[in-house]
Structure 1
Amino acid sequence: MPLPTDPAVLETSQRLVDVLHGIFGPHPGKRPVHAKGILLRGIFKPTPEAASLSAAPHFHRSSTPILARFSSSTGIPNLPDTDPNGNPRGLALRFMLEESPRHVHTDIITHSTPFFPAKDGPEALAFFHAFASGTIKSFLSTHPAAQAFVQAEKPFPASFGTEKYFGVNAFKFIDEDGQETFIRYRVMPSAGESYLDGEQLKAKSDSYLYDELPIRLCAGPVAFDLVAQLAEDGDVTDDCTVHWPDDRILVKLGTVRLDSIMEDNDAEQKRIIFDPVPRVDGIEPSADPLIDTRAGVYLISGRERRAARDRLTMLTYSGVPDEE
């Protein structure tokens, strides 16, 4: 996964990582946002409709191994699941296309609201700076997209497996004949949506979402439908804060079935770096400028996590206690 080549994008990505660390505090080995999370293994099975829309390999195979990461918002690793700042929840999917001799994969990154507070990197940086400096109310009064994100309903899910997730950026599907279709992803729970009211939430523990997953898996896979919302001519594809009309066609691309929690979870979460850029034949990024900024943020923060992991390993083997 390469860094963005545009120096301005790279600088904005680094500044975003820095301001997020300033808001939530330094937590070596953890992400600056969505720090609390868990990795699972599973399988993706596509529909014939997916193959008709895109030449991407995971839409043309009978099944593809996947990794998934559920997460809570903020950069606080021990944030209680009952804290409203943990919403929206996140879901990242990795399609494992080739293990050897190269590790080839493509990722989808979603969260549990169709809203995002900024259309590009500089605006996202201004949003978080306003949050950090205590001027967020003034900022929201002049930035309607950020205000819509903050005011959007973000209920507490009964389970990660009963939440819906949205990819806010648009991508271009290209079929085997070169036909192009712009889409946005949705990941919809096969078990149906289920949320907690205030009284139910009071009875939940600080880790209820993460404690519930192993119990749910004992009863069978946690399943979702991967869905594409199709753009029509004239729909905006380069601004994630502009929503497409609700009557746009939805196409089921396949089924995600998560059946086990990944072993060595903490170590693997330090290692894995999800990539907002598809980097696979049959799927291309749109002109949405936020995609490259997000890729820069994820790679920079991923390298920080790996450096923290390597430092801890070195200290452990040398017999020196870790001071962090």
Structure 2
Amino acid sequence: MSESTSRTAIAQIVDTMRALAGSHPGFRPVHAKAVVCHGNFRATPQARSVSRAPHLQGEAIPTVIRFSNASGNPDAHDGVPDARAMAVKFQLPDGKNADILALSIEGFLARTPEEFLAFLQAQLPDPATKQPRPDAVPRFLEKHPATAAFIQRLTQKPVPASYGQCSYHGEHAFKFTAADGTSRFGRYHWMPEAGEALLSPDDAIKRSANFLREDLESRLRNGPVGFRLLLQLADESDPTDDVTVLWPADRPKVELGRLEVTDISPTGMADERRMVFDPTNLTDGIGLSADPILLARSEAYSISYDRRSKGE
């Protein structure tokens, strides 16, 4: 796959996402409905043994957190079954940022940008009839068992009752390097301190259309909402360049730190327009893997940001 081919596929991914979401000028083509919050993160002592990254040395680090639904419709009901996401921007002492993006479902549904584009295009309506092609997605899933496995995990998981009582999983592997030069690959997992709370789709859809924001507002009136950040360490046999493959559950996990979500941003709408959360936005001590989906995301976010900032 050439660089120009990849760039073309990435631009087509953004175009196809926008087509599937419908016209919502100024919004992201996915994860359009969100709540932006402020918080603080403090690393555990053992985090230093994993990485020399500045936010993993034990100081309190201010953060910006974005909770979102997967839909590209900013007015979607919060009870619609789908993935939820949590993006965290660490505001580092040197004035730079580092980001973690995570989903409520582990893994991802495609290994490459081209594969992801093909899955999105299978969902487009037939140009002649303007109706969905009933056989297109099933045919794709037959040929792509990893995508089928992700969809199965998604459909089997009930609807989160709260942004603050949902676990979130980083899809990609990153290379963590400690001060002594030792390196390990790992994947992030955010675990809610209050435990998980889930709803059946029937119960979720009966709630207020914005119940996730309302729940978060209510919780924050009583104090911070806490999450623990765990890092699942890869074995030498675990692939670090294939986002569709889940590592065995018994791989060791290191607790990297604790996040406190303290308040909802009073400038949330402006934050939405200007902020980009990008998993390739890293700092010394954390490096990229060769995962082609990970390497494509920055370009996709750049295209998306450019379009929404123009009100498209």
CA distance 1:237–1:43, shift in 2 (3 Å): same
- 2:148 aligned residue: 147
- Determine whether 1:122 maps to 2:119: no
In 2, Cα distance between the equivalents of 1:162 and 1:279?
Answer: 27
- 1:25 aligned residue: 22
Among 270, 274, 281, the residue aligned to 1:271:
274
In 1, Cα distance between the equivalents of 2:105 and 2:208?
Answer: 24
Q: 1:8 deviation in Å?
A: 2.9
TM-score (norm 1): 0.89
Q: 1:6 deviation in Å?
A: 3.4
Q: Mean Cα displacement is larger for which, 9-18 or 241-250?
A: 9-18
In 2, Cα distance between the equivalents of 1:104 and 1:15?
Answer: 30
Among 40, 44, 60, the residue aligned to 2:41:
44
- 1:111 aligned residue: 103
Q: Number of residues paired by the alignment?
A: 300
Secondary structure of the 1:304 match is helix
Among 204, 226, 241, the residue aligned to 2:207:
204
Q: 1:199 deviation in Å?
A: 5.6
Secondary structure of the 1:150 match is helix
Secondary structure of the 2:160 match is coil
Among 88, 91, 94, the residue aligned to 2:86:
91
In 2, Cα distance between the equivalents of 1:131 and 1:165?
Answer: 26
**Cα contact 2:38–2:263 (8 A) shared by 1:** yes
CA distance 1:204–1:182, shift in 2 (3 Å): same
In 2, Cα distance between the equivalents of 1:56 and 1:270?
Answer: 28
Map of 1:130-279 to 2, 5 A cutoff? 130-133=122-125, 134=133, 135-152=136-153, 153-197=156-200, 200-279=203-282
**Cα contact 1:24–1:32 (8 A) shared by 2:** yes
In 2, Cα distance between the equivalents of 1:7 and 1:174?
Answer: 32
Structure 1 unaligned segments of length 5 or more: list them. Answer: 309-323
Identity within the alignment, %: 40
In the TM superposition, structure 1's runs of 4+ consecutive aligned residues that sit over 6 Å from their partners are: none
**Cα contact 1:71–1:90 (8 A) shared by 2:** yes
Among 4, 8, 15, the residue aligned to 2:5:
8
Q: 1:198 deviation in Å?
A: 5.0
Deviations along 1:143-191, whole A, 9 cap, x unmatched?
1111111111231111100000001110000111111100000000000
Q: Mean Cα displacement is larger for which, 131-140 or 5-14?
A: 5-14
Letter in 1 for 2:301: Y
Q: 1:28 deviation in Å?
A: 1.4
Q: 1:7 deviation in Å?
A: 2.9
**Cα contact 2:175–2:288 (8 A) shared by 1:** yes
CA distance 1:215–1:14, shift in 2 (3 Å): same
- Determine whether 1:69 maps to 2:72: no
**Cα contact 1:278–1:285 (8 A) shared by 2:** no
Secondary structure of the 1:173 match is strand
- 1:312 aligned residue: none
Q: 1:275 deviation in Å?
A: 1.1
Q: 1:216 deviation in Å?
A: 0.6
**Cα contact 1:88–1:154 (8 A) shared by 2:** no
- Determine whether 1:295 maps to 2:288: no
In 1, Cα distance between the equivalents of 2:204 and 2:227?
Answer: 24
TM-score (norm 2): 0.92
In 2, Cα distance between the equivalents of 1:287 and 1:188?
Answer: 26
Structure 2 unaligned segments of length 5 or more: list them. Answer: 126-132
Letter in 1 for 2:144: H
Q: Mean Cα displacement is larger for which, 6-15 or 198-207?
A: 198-207
In 1, Cα distance between the equivalents of 2:124 and 2:203?
Answer: 32
Deviations along 1:220-279, whole A, 9 cap, x unmatched?
111100110000111111001111111100111000100011121111111001112143
**Cα contact 1:21–1:75 (8 A) shared by 2:** yes
Letter in 2 for 1:144: P
Secondary structure of the 1:132 match is coil
RMSD: 1.5
Q: 1:218 deviation in Å?
A: 0.5
